[in-house]
Amino acid sequence: MKRFVFGAVSALVLGVSAAAAADYPAKEIQGIIQWGAGGSTDTVMRSVTPHAEAVLGGTVVMQNMTGGVGAIALNHVAGQDADGYTLLMGAENPLLYKVMGLGDKDYSDFIPISILARGTPILVANPDAPFNDYAGMMAYIKEHPGELRVGATGPGGLPSVVTAMINTVEGKMNVISVPYDGDGPALTALQGGAIDVMPAVLGAAIEGIRAGKMKPLAIFDVAANPKLPDVPPVTDFNAAYSTYLPWGPFFGVFVKKGTPDDVVAKLAAAYAKGAENAEFKELMDNRGFNMLAISGAEAEAFLAKWQQGTTWLLQDAGLTKTSPEAFGIARP
C-alpha cells in the first residue's frame, strides 16, 4: 500500500512537472533583482527582460529585493520551488559570499540562464588630485604614506578586489580606505572631494570623465578600452597585472538548481535572443559593458574561473573570513 501511494504520488509529481514544462510559462514569472532600483543590475535587467519576454510569450514581473549584499534576494529565490517561475537577477557578489562569511549559498545552488555582460574596472581620481596617471598615484602614495583617501564599497565589492590586486602586485599600499554604500555614492563623494581616488566600473564613471568631473588614471584591463582609447591599461605600467586580468563584475540571470531542463532551455533561449536586441546592445556599449550572453557549460566554466581567481586573490590579500579551500575552490 505504502509503495502504491508512493508510486502514485511520484507519478503525479512527474506528470505535473512534465505538464509544467510543456506549457511553460503558464503564469507570471517573478524576477528578483538583487540590487536597488536605478542601479546597474536593475537597469540591465529591466532593459533585457522585455525582449526576452517577447520570445518567451509570458510576463516577467521584476522586483527589487535589496539587503545583505544581495544575499536576501539569493536566499529568497533559493527558498522558492525549482519550477522556473522565480528568476534571480544578480551580479557577481554571491560568488564571494562563502569566503566572506556572508552566507552558505552561492551560484553553485543555481543554474545560469544567461551571463549577460562583464564590466571593466577603471581607476578614477578627483580632477584636483596632484597626479595624472597610475604611476603618479603610486609615487604620491610612497611620498605621502597614509594620506590618500581611496573609496571602497565593503569587503567583496569591486574596489576591494581592485585594491587587493594592487596590493598583491605592487606591495601593500598605505592609504585610507573610506567605505560607501555603492559606487554611485562613492563617485559623488569623489566629485565633492571627500575621497581622492575610486576604483569603479567603467560605465559608472564614463559620463563623469567625459565632463571632466573626474580624471581616469588607468583601465584595469590588458588593453585600452574603445570607449576611452586615450586611457592606458594598467598593464602598461606594470606587466605583472596580466596574471589577474581581464577581470570584471558581471550580470546574470539564474534559476534554482533542480529546475527542469526544458524550462531552463526555454529561458536560456529567450534571454539569448533578448540579449541580441540592437537597442540593448547599444545600451550596454554606452555604459562600457562587454557583452557575453553565455549560458550552459560555458557559463558554468566562466563562473568557476571567476570564483577561483577572485576568492584566492582576496584570500592572499587577507580579506577573507574563510579560505576558499574550505569550500573546495581550488587555487587557479
Partner 1 sequence: MDAVLAFLTVFTHPELLLLVGLGTFAGVYVGAIPGLSVTMAVSILISFTFSWDVHPAIALMIGIYMGGVYGGSRTAILLNIPGAPSAIATALDGYPMAKRGEAGTAIGVTTVMSFIGGFIGIGVLAVAAPFVSDFALKFQPRDYMLLAVLGILLVGSLSTGSLVKGIFAGALGIAIGAVGRDPLTFSERFTFDLPLMQGGISFIAVMIGMFGVSEALMQLHHVNKDAVRQQISRIVPSLSTVKKHLPLSVQTSAIGVLIGALPGTGGDIAALMAYDHAKRVTKNPERPFGDGAMEGLVAPETANNAAVGGAFIPMMTLGIPGDAVTAIMIGALFIHGLNPGPMLMIDQPDMFWFIVGALVMANFFMLLFGLTGIKLFTKIVEMPRSVLIPLIMLLSIVGAYAVNNSLTDVYWMLGFGFFGYFMRHYGYPLGPVILGVILSRLLDDNWRRAIISEREDLGRFFHGVFTSPLSTVLFIAVILIFVSQTPIWAKAKAKLLGGSGQGVEQ
Residues binding partner 1 (CB under 8 A): 36-39, 42-43, 46-47, 49-50, 62-65, 67-69, 71-72, 75, 100, 102, 146, 149, 154-156, 176-181, 184-185, 188-189, 191-195, 206-208, 210-211, 213, 279, 282-283, 286-287
Q: CB of 214: closest distance to partner 1 in angstroms? A: 10
Residue by residue, DSSP assigns 182-249 as SHHHHHHHHHHTS-SEEEEEHHHHHHHHHTTSSEEEEESSSS-BTTBTTSPBGGGT-GGGGGT-S---
Rounded (10°) CA dihedral 11, 16, 18, 23 = 160
Q: Between 84 and 157, name the residue whose CB sits nearer to partner 1.
A: 157
Q: Between 171 and 192, name the residue whose CB sits nearer to partner 1.
A: 192
Q: CB of 195: closest distance to partner 1 in angstroms? A: 8
Q: CB of 62: closest distance to partner 1 in angstroms? A: 6
Q: Between 135 and 213, name the residue whose CB sits nearer to partner 1.
A: 213
Q: Between 43 and 114, name the residue whose CB sits nearer to partner 1.
A: 43
Please tell me the chain's helix, strand, coil percentages from 3-state DSSP, rounded to the nearest 5.
Answer: 45, 20, 35
Q: CB of 68: closest distance to partner 1 in angstroms? A: 5
Give CA–CA dist 44/232, Å, rounded. Answer: 27
What does the block give as the cell for 280? 540593448
Q: CB of 7: closest distance to partner 1 in angstroms? A: 35
Q: Between 52 and 137, name the residue whose CB sits nearer to partner 1.
A: 52
Query: Taking the CB of residue 71, how many other CB atoms lie within 10 A of it?
Result: 20
Give CA–CA dist 45/54, Å, rounded. Answer: 14
